[in-house]
Amino acid sequence: MRETQRTPETDSTDAYDLVILGGGSGGYACALRASQLGLSVALVEKDKVGGTCLHRGCIPTKAFLHSAEVADTARSADRFGVRATLERVDMPAVLSYKDGVVGRLYRGLSGLVSKAGVTVVEGEGRVEAGDDDTPDVVVGERRFRGRSLVVATGSFARTLPGLQIGGRIMTSTEVLELDDVPARTVVLGGGVIGVELASALASFGSEVTVVEALPRLVAAEDEAASTALTRAFTKRGITIRTGSRFESATQDDGGVAVTLEGGERLEADILVVAVGRGPVTEGLGLEEAGIEVAEGFVVTDERLRTSHPTVYAVGDIVKGLQLAHRGFAHGIFVAEEIAGRAPQPVSDHLIPRVTYSHPEIASVGLTEAAAREQHGDDAVATYQYDLGGNGKAQILGTAGFVKVVRVVDGPVVGMHMVGDRMGEQVGEAMLVVGWDAVPADVTPFLHAHPTQNEAIGEAMLALAGQPLHAHG
């Protein structure tokens, strides 16, 4: 390992093998892996290590959703033979639970980073070209130089032109700090973030309307999954307004009024703006340092190298799926690339996706429509196994399915699952798609009974012409 070289105080330049700007999922994963590989690492973070995912995104949102699941379970306890009532949802207690989960994970992560010997620099960093045209990260009066630089600054909650966030109009960040349950909520955006927050707030007892400009919810998912989610949400009393464009919103002490294109007006206590996330690249000095940016995203090749030969970019600032586990994978890949390990590039096609609503959607690979477009209609076959035939799903009281998309006489190219807790099954789905397995390759695998995991096995048996608890 090359020892960390520190120049005299008058120079105020600190030298490392690797400098990382941003301590979120991609940044800290890169730091930990690089340290394991013997590189000296400085990790610059203006907030807290863990980034949006740990502090304002994945973890607190899923804690909210678990509290929501408990509320739903209490409401429906009678169907399971348990006499219980739901007194109320205590939002301050929910916040305390959520903050406790985040706090424990943050302490654990901080310990990992410290033990790895990573130098954590607290402060807002900016990229500047150094004397030899090697970009440095400048934090206040200090300059951090690495043989390689990784930009991992993450993403922010987007809004819409003319829509001011504040008061009763909030993003996913502010909604996670609600201290009471709003009687009525309008969620603007029917993508993953929007439907997760809509699901949680409905379970807490809010009357929720989801407004989405596209023709269906979670439009990036297989159409069958979108249809199933819409049906389930409607059954839960959530109002779905797809194909509806937002025009304006006003607020006062009494509530918020949302006007849709055509003049229709919706009234609510809060408006949650969930129209996606944008890359944090503005004002960092990237383009001035010779790093190409397009539409806000850092431009990279498949090996995540930017237009500057010593600079890499990872995570949400690289165009594609904005998921924490993609950031982890990017960070690990770049650390190994810099260390000369020649790793396999990360493929968005093989990244599992989960929408943690009630019910959940879990998927990997191509949708049916994408498979038919890529391979041709006659070359694609699908099978959909209904969870109605799955013992554990019946016990849990959840509906849904496992849908498998395959090339005729060829491999499985996509899997799409709907149902409570189906996100826990996506790991096997990723292995099947990632290994280009044909159904007959999977049929010898044993799936424990009774589990929802059996639904994957049943779908594969049916596709292989050996149906057991399903029609072939």
Question: What does each of the 472 residues of the chain score in pLDDT, given as a tens digit?
Answer: 333 333 333 346 789 999 999 999 999 999 999 999 999 999 999 999 999 999 999 999 999 999 999 999 999 999 999 999 999 999 999 999 999 999 999 999 999 999 999 999 999 999 998 777 779 999 999 999 999 999 999 999 999 988 999 999 999 999 999 999 999 999 999 999 999 999 999 999 999 999 999 999 999 999 999 999 999 999 999 999 999 999 999 999 999 999 999 999 999 999 999 999 999 999 999 999 999 999 999 999 999 999 999 999 999 999 999 999 999 999 999 999 999 999 999 999 999 999 999 999 999 999 999 999 999 999 999 999 999 999 999 999 999 999 999 999 999 999 999 999 999 999 999 999 999 999 999 999 999 999 999 999 999 999 999 988 887 6
Q: What share of the chain is helix, strand, coil (3-state, %, to 5)?
A: 35, 25, 40
Class of domain 169-275 as given by CATH? alpha beta
- Sequence-separated (6 or more) residues with CB below 8 Å from residue 404: 382, 383, 384, 385, 412, 414, 415, 439, 459, 460, 463
Q: Are 209 and 185 in contact (CB under 8 A)?
A: yes
pLDDT of residue 472: 61
Q: Which residues are designated catalytic?
A: 449
What residues does each domain of the chain span? 5-56+94-156+278-349, 169-275, 359-463
Q: Judging by DSSP bridges, how do beta strands 41-45 and 119-122 pair with one another?
A: parallel
Instruction: Tell me the three state secondary structure of residue 339.
Output: coil
On whether the CB atoms of residues 238 and 202 are closer than 8 A, the answer is yes
- Report pLDDT for 132: 72
Backbone angles phi, psi at 248, to 5 degrees: -165, 170
The yes/no answer on whether domain 359-463 falls in CATH 3.30.390.30 is yes
DSSP tag of 166: B
Q: Is 332 left (phi over 0), alpha (psi -120 to 50) or beta?
A: alpha
CA angle 445, 385, 467 (to 5 degrees): 55
Q: Are 256 and 227 in contact (CB under 8 A)?
A: no
CATH of domain 5-56+94-156+278-349: 3.50.50.60
Identify whether the C-beta of residue 123 lies closer than 8 Å to the C-beta of residue 3.
no
**∠ CA 124-128-134, rounded to 5°:** 130
Backbone angles phi, psi at 76, to 5 degrees: -100, 15
Please name the residue that has the structure tokens 């059954």.
235
Write the burial class of residue 215 (CB in 10 Å: 0-12 exposed, 13-18 middle, 19+ buried).
Answer: exposed
Residue 470 CA to residue 472 CA, distance in Å, equals 6
CB atoms within 10 A of CB 371: 22
d(CA 142, CA 92): 41
**Structure token pair of residue 318:** 């690289």
Global pTM reads: 0.94
Sign of the Cα torsion 113, 119, 125, 130 reads negative
Q: Do domains 5-56+94-156+278-349 and 169-275 have the same CATH topology?
A: yes
What is the CA angle 101-177-126, rounded to 5?
A: 85
Q: Among candidates 444, 384, 451, which has minimal Cα distance to 418?
A: 384
Q: Which of 459, 426, 425, 467 is nearest to 442 (CA)?
A: 459
Backbone angles phi, psi at 42, to 5 degrees: -115, 130
Rounded to whole angstroms, the Cα distance separating 291 from 305 reads 10
DSSP 124-135: --EEEE-TTS-E
> Which residue from 197, 219, 176 is spatially nearest to 357, judged by alpha carbons?
197
* Distance separating alpha carbons of residues 432 and 426, to the nearest angstrom: 10
Q: Is 271 exposed, middle or buried (0-12, 13-18, 19+ CB in 10 A)?
A: buried
Q: At what angle do helices 192-204 and 223-235 cross, to 10 degrees?
A: 20
Q: What is the pLDDT of residue 130?
A: 77
Rounded Cα–Cα distance for residues 426 and 301 (Å): 28
Give the integer Cα–Cα distance in Å for 114 and 122. 14
